[in-house]
Amino acid sequence: MSIPALLFEQCVKYITRHIGWVDTLQGVPDIIGERLWKGCVENDSFLHNDADTHRGLMLFVNAYGIEFMESFKCKDPYLLTEYCECLTVMCVTVTHLDISGCQLGNNNDFLRAIVNMKDLKVLNMSRNELSDGGFRLLLARHRMFQEGFQLLQYCDVSQNIFPGLIPYNISNAAVDQMTRCIALALWDVTCGDYKNKMKKMDAVMDIAD
């Protein structure tokens, strides 16, 4: 690796570790802004409920608006819950969304926001403790107004078990409802007794690119 490349990576690492010190990202090219964002996520810069985290998120929102990210991957339920409003703004134009393992449950506000991601092609919602109620919330606007999910080609809703007094899997009725609402090229709805296993998310993250 060349010296300039090493210097660039060191600068990115330093900035992302101290993102709360940055005054503004306005004027910073999108390609660098995206690298800074990835660095912040990799360095867990947004894991604390403090002023630096909120300010850091707003830096990206204010500088790049809704045309910033093409893909977003989050494994942290705290981030989606505490900063739902910021992230829904930033994710409006994503084509690939991976929120697997975030344990959202059936009532998380982020579920309502997914339908607004009109460019979404790949969606991974596996391991989120969702039952039929969560999917009704996800699809409500689409069912009523036929809005959203027009470009969606792959959806992973596998391993969703709602941890109530009696563990509850997604029902056949919910799967049928999703199938009727959204015409997909690939489904993964493996949960409980369902065995309709499709390709893994890693194999389709560049679908339709």
Mark residue 105 as left, alpha or beta (left: phi above 0; alpha: psi -120 to 50; beta: remaining).
left
Q: Are residues 53 and 73 in the same domain?
A: no
Per-residue DSSP letter, 188: E
Q: Where does a domain end: 42, 64, 86? A: 64
Query: C-alpha angle with apex 165: 163 to 171, nearest 5 degrees?
Result: 60
Q: Are residues 209 and 154 in the same domain?
A: yes
- What CATH number is given to the structural domain containing 129? 3.80.10.10
Q: Are residues 32 and 82 in the same domain?
A: no
Report how far apart, in Å, the C-alpha atoms of 40 and of each of 18, 33, 35, 85, 136 are: 9, 10, 9, 18, 33
Q: Are residues 39 and 83 in the same domain?
A: no
Query: C-alpha angle with apex 109: 106 to 111, nearest 5 degrees?
Result: 60
User: Can you give the pLDDT of all 209 residues of the chain as single tens digits?
Assistant: 455 668 888 999 999 888 888 999 999 998 898 889 888 877 777 766 677 777 888 888 888 876 667 788 887 787 788 778 878 877 888 899 999 988 888 888 898 889 889 899 899 988 898 888 888 888 888 777 777 788 888 888 888 876 665 555 666 666 666 666 565 555 555 544 333 333 343 444 444 44
Burial class of 92 by CB neighbour count within 10 A (0 to 12, 13 to 18, 19+) = middle
Nearest to 114, CA basis, from 64, 62, 152, 77: 152
Q: Are residues 116 and 175 in the same domain?
A: yes
The answer for residues whose C-beta is within 8 angstroms of residue 81's C-beta and 6 or more apart is 108, 110
Owning domain of residue 48: 1-64
Structure tokens at 11: 């600068």
What are the strands, taking DSSP E only, across 22-165?
Answer: 71-73, 96-98, 122-124, 154-156, 161-162
Q: Where does a domain end: 48, 64, 80? A: 64
Q: Are residues 163 and 117 in the same domain?
A: yes
Q: Are residues 16 and 86 in the same domain?
A: no
Q: Where does a domain end: 36, 64, 92? A: 64
Nearest to 76, CA basis, from 40, 112, 52: 40
Q: Count structural domains, the chain.
A: 2
pTM: 0.67
